[in-house]
Amino acid sequence: MKKIQIKTVKGFNEVLPPESFRWRLVEDKFRDLLEGYGFAELRLALLEPTELFARSIGGETDIVEKEMYTFADRSDRSLTLRPEGTASVVRAYNQYSLGKSSEINKLYYVGPMFRYERPQKGRYRQFHQLGAEVFGEESFYQDAETLVMLAQLFHALSIKGVELHLNSLGCDACRPAFRDHLKDYLSQRHEALCEDCRRRSLENPLRALDCKNPYCREAVADAPPISDSLCDDCSLHFTGLCGLLEDAGIDFQINPRLVRGLDYYTRTTFEFLAGDLGAQNAVAAGGRYDRLVEELGGKATPAFGFAIGFERLMMLIGSEVAPLTSPLVALIPLGEEALGLLFPIHVDLNRKAQVTTLSFQQKSLKSQLKKADKDGVIYALIVGQDELAQGEAICRNMRTKEQTKLPFERLRESLRELYHEC
Ligand code: ATP
Ligand code: MG
């Protein structure tokens, strides 16, 4: 049979060791911080009815128009691999009536997302997000609490140079007037816009503010800022948030063009940008979406949320987070009988996270010692014919080359003592 090598689908990012250890450590920090703030985890379906995203993210958006992995299943239902987490969390919030229990109003998730984009540094077709949503709180204190929590996460991970960009998109009361205003402005610059923006500017003119095309950027550079159109309530909400962030010592910039590529936002939108990431510079993003729960069939409930791009976060951390501890002791059997003696010790110690290595193949002393050296272990425990006859193992310090003898009957205790010493 002809040999073929099967590879991943293009742009599907996988995480291999030792990088996966580092991911786990970072994920643990995220979980600890969020659980400290009262968040609980949701583990959700990866596949959803396409309609969920079409309705929540919005028709004239990049995600829905060209980035979704959508296909018909065997009974011809249109399904989509989730491109983001918020829609699914809101779907679950409504489906399981999570709002009925006042304790379940802060939810987080960790997992893969799928978008058909051009793969490049920091941009993949399968990527991962750490995200969270808070339900039922309208106050700008909630926006502030969540943003401060994110800043604390970056601090805990020793990430510097991340800038918070903020904007308010207004609400149903004030946004329509701004949209009309912007529509007029764009219609005068129709020629300068990219094809997408020309088409979308009638239905969804805010999208042009978000477009990455350099011509569109130039065309909207002097667009009227939304801050001029906010109603009193939205203005107070935004200034209240800015005040709390200033008091908390969090630097931020107000960016009137930050509309975010999804339709569901109201009031606060934000992005954390990192210069070190190059073109794909958004490491986390989110905002308030006070209408979405109701639009997806639930009781009117204000909400606020964010998602962090896991790959981009890890690029910022570099290699500062140490990988998990390497094995401390290599158990080196010479022969079948010695392997039988060492195996129960191996599994017993590993169960207590006192990591040992043991080769199950009959290999020479030299090759086993070489492997132990490569693994960076501190002690090698050697058992061959002579040791079996004498009832003692040789314990070799791999750094000093010093050797001592450990009687079999005390092997477990002796090894545990070695762990304590290191
Ligand atoms: P971008 O402007 O880079 O396309 P976005 O606005 O589409 O980002 P969001 O939908 O807000 O991104 O997702 C939140 C975060 O997820 C982003 O800030 C980014 O860190 C990460 N992210 C989004 N798309 C990708 C992708 N294709 N590959 C890797 N990370 C991504
Ligand atoms: Mg995008």
Domain boundary, last residue among 286, 316, 346: 316
Cα–Cα distance measured from residue 321 to residue 314, given in angstroms and rounded to the nearest whole number: 10
**Within 194-291, where are the H helices?**
195-203, 207-210, 214-219, 232-247
Looking from the CA of residue 272, the nearest atom of ligand 1 is 18
Q: List, in order, residues 6 or more apart from 401 with CB less than 8 Å away.
A: none
Q: What pairing do the DSSP bridges indicate for beta strands 329-333 and 303-309?
A: unpaired
The reply to whether 128 falls in a domain is yes
Domain boundary, last residue among 159, 186, 219: 219
CB 114 within 8 A of CB 124: no
Q: Which residues line ligand 1 (CB under 6 A)?
A: 84, 115, 117, 122-124, 127, 129, 261, 280, 282-285, 307, 309, 311-312
CATH number for the domain including 401? 3.40.50.800
- Say how many domains are in the chain: 3
pLDDT tens track, the chain, 422 positions: 889 999 999 999 999 988 999 999 999 999 999 999 999 999 999 999 999 999 999 888 889 989 999 999 999 999 999 999 999 999 999 999 998 876 669 999 999 999 999 999 999 999 999 999 999 999 999 999 999 999 999 999 999 899 999 999 999 999 999 999 999 999 999 889 999 888 888 888 888 888 888 999 898 988 999 999 999 999 999 999 999 999 999 999 999 989 887 778 999 999 999 988 888 899 999 999 999 999 999 999 999 999 999 999 999 997 655 555 668 899 999 999 999 999 999 998 888 878 889 989 889 999 999 999 998 899 999 999 999 999 999 999 999 999 999 999 999 899 888 887 77
Domain containing 206: what range?
175-219
Looking from the CA of residue 129, the nearest atom of ligand 1 is 16
Q: Please tell me the residue having the least CA distance from ligand 1 atom 12.
A: 285
Residue 56 and residue 140 share a domain: yes
Residue 168 and residue 70 share a domain: yes
The count of C-alpha atoms lying within 13 angstroms of the C-alpha of 134, restricted to the half-sphere facing its C-beta, is 22
The reply to whether 122 falls in a domain is yes
Q: What is the pLDDT of residue 319?
A: 67
Residue 288 and residue 146 share a domain: yes
Residue 333 and residue 302 share a domain: no
Residue 416 and residue 365 share a domain: yes
Q: Which amino acid is at 36?
A: G
The reply to whether 36 falls in a domain is yes
The reply to whether 4 falls in a domain is no
Which ligand number lies closest to the CA of residue 210? 1
- The preferred substitution site among 113, 133, 264, 281 for testing ligand 1, maximizing ligand atoms within 8 Å of CB, is 113
Which ligand number lies closest to the CA of residue 212? 1
Residue 366 and residue 297 share a domain: no
H or E segment and range at residue 283: strand 282-288
CB 62 within 8 A of CB 260: no
Residue 385 and residue 338 share a domain: yes
Q: Let me know how many helices (H) and strands (E) the chain has, helices first.
A: 16, 16
Q: Please tell me the residue having the least CA distance from ligand 1 atom 8.
A: 282
The reply to whether 2 falls in a domain is no
DSSP state of 100: G
Ligand 2 center from residue 272 Cα (angstroms):
14
Domain boundary, last residue among 259, 289, 316: 316
The reply to whether 407 falls in a domain is yes
The reply to whether 359 falls in a domain is yes
- The preferred substitution site among 129, 154, 276 for testing ligand 1, maximizing ligand atoms within 8 Å of CB, is 129
DSSP 331-396: EEE-SHHHHHHHHHHHHHHHHTT--EEE--S---HHHHHHHHHHHT-SEEEEE-HHHHHHTEEEEE
Ligand 2 center from residue 290 Cα (angstroms):
22
- The preferred substitution site among 81, 127, 130, 311 for testing ligand 1, maximizing ligand atoms within 8 Å of CB, is 127
Which ligand number lies closest to the CA of residue 112? 1
Q: Under DSSP, is residue 132 helix (H, G, I), strand (E, B) or coil? A: strand
Residue 183 and residue 93 share a domain: no
Ligand 1 center from residue 378 Cα (angstroms):
43
CATH number for the domain including 108? 3.30.930.10
Residue 180 and residue 166 share a domain: no
Residue 336 and residue 199 share a domain: no
CB 381 within 8 A of CB 357: no
C-alpha dist (Å) from residue 279 to 79, 166, 212, 259: 31, 19, 10, 18
Ligand 1 center from residue 129 Cα (angstroms):
9
pTM of the model: 0.88
Cα–Cα distance measured from residue 45 to residue 52, given in angstroms and rounded to the nearest whole number: 12
